[in-house]
């Protein structure tokens, strides 16, 4: 039989904000470490990037220490479900399909997708104009799903990381790649390897393929963790911390509409 004290405690816990409820400390966060400038490994093998700074700021707001686990993209959701870590912060876009497996915080950034091609290329960015073209992107992403649905006549090559896709584009092994515009710009076009390449065609958005923005992924039973991150996102947006981090990495706000 539950005592009056236990009932009062349960009521207080339910009423408390998510950040005040018991959360793992340290909070183990998985990131890919291969998606510059959002998350990547520096010369010393330490994780850096916009999402890493953002994760630390969110953890500060929540009142926990965050520690990072580098996990290959293909295994990042399975690793969460296997309880190898508590959350994913790795440009994991919120989609209806992923919501069937895991839960998410509110979004913390959202940018469009676009094709990148050599400046000398004659490719016209339409399903007809790209028929037979060899196009690369990262495996198990919104970009892959979109192209399989809308550009079914291309020769699609998928890679474990976008870094591998950039390498094949710069070496001429693919005719084009698809990526988000910030990652492609900062991680490829603005580097020496990206000289001679450009964005082409329209910017692609829409929830059907590209979801609702990147969010913190958690197990469905850990709703208190996703709620804590959603509250932290709202707070750092309001107090200017988010803008400072975004300006540091990009020079503009990547939160999206």
Q: What homologous superfamily is domain 18-110+212-249 in, according to CATH?
A: Periplasmic binding protein-like II (3.40.190.10)
SS3 call for 231: helix
Contact 27, 87 (CB under 8 A): yes
Tell me the mean pLDDT in the region 1-21.
43
The CATH-assigned architecture of domain 113-210 is 3-Layer(aba) Sandwich (3.40)
For residue 39 the two structure tokens come to 């998350």
Domains 18-110+212-249 and 113-210 agree in fold: yes
What pTM was computed for the model?
A: 0.88
Token pair of 226 as six digits: 């996703």
Position 125 confidence tier, pLDDT thresholds 50, 70, 90:
very high
Question: Which residues are CB-contacts of 189 (< 8 A; sequence separation ≥ 6)?
Answer: 116, 197, 198, 199
User: What is the tens place of the pLDDT at every residue in 186-243?
Assistant: 999 999 999 999 999 999 999 999 999 999 999 999 999 999 999 999 999 999 999 9
Domain ranges of the chain: 18-110+212-249, 113-210
């Amino acid at each position: 039989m539950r005592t009056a004290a236990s009932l009062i405690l349960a009521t207080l816990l339910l009423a408390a904000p998510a950040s005040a409820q018991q959360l793992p400390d340290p909070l183990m966060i998985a990131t890919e470490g291969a998606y510059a400038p959002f998350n990547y490994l520096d010369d010393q093998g330490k994780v850096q990037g916009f999402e890493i700074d953002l994760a630390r700021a969110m953890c500060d707001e929540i009142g926990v220490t965050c520690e990072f686990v580098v996990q290959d993209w293909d295994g990042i959701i399975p690793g969460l479900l296997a309880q190898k870590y508590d959350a994913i912060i790795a440009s994991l876009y919120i989609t209806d399909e992923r919501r069937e497996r895991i839960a998410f915080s509110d979004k913390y950034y959202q940018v469009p997708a676009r094709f990148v091609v050599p400046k000398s290329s004659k490719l016209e960015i339409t399903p007809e104009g790209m028929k037979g073209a060899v196009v690369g992107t990262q495996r198990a992403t919104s970009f892959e799903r979109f192209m399989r649905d809308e550009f079914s006549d291309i020769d699609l090559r998928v890679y474990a990381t976008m870094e591998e896709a950039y390498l094949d584009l710069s070496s001429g092994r693919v005719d084009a790649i698809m990526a988000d515009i910030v990652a492609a710009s900062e991680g490829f076009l603005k580097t020496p390897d990206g000289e001679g390449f450009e964005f082409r065609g329209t910017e692609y958005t829409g929830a059907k393929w590209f979801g609702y923005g990147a969010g913190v992924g958690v197990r469905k039973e850990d709703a208190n963790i996703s709620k804590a991150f959603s509250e932290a996102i709202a707070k750092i947006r309001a107090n200017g911390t988010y803008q400072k981090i975004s300006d540091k990495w990009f020079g503009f706000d990547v939160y999206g509409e």
